[in-house]
Amino acid sequence: MKKLITILSIFLLISFTINTVTAVAQPKIYSQGFYTMKDLNLSENTSYTVQNNEPYVEGLLIILDSDRKIQQLIRIPPSSTKNPIIPLKSDYKFIIYGNVKLIFS
């Protein structure tokens, strides 16, 4: 009986450790254009960063509120590090300018 319990315990331990899956969020990549929060699949009141992975092209990100006032303007150099953006509200709109691919994470 002790052997059976020991074997079952080892089997259960092994089966629980094998099935672990790590979940990593996919970065969101967008090019030049006009976007809303829904278009970018961004959540309200969440901290995001934006990064330009293009090696030779500079980009520009403009964040506007519902009154069309600029809330944040970021000039993103080529191959930049992650730049933090302000906490977002649901009515914000985004303008991405330049032949870039910006990554939101």
Model confidence pTM above 0.95: no
Residue 14 has pLDDT above 80, yes or no: no
Q: Catalogue all structural domains in the chain, each as residue range(s) with its CATH number.
A: 25-104 (2.60.290)
pLDDT, mean of residues 43-52: 88
* pLDDT tens figures, 23-33: 666 677 888 99
CA distances from 64 to 10, 16, 36, 60, 69 (A): 58, 48, 10, 13, 5
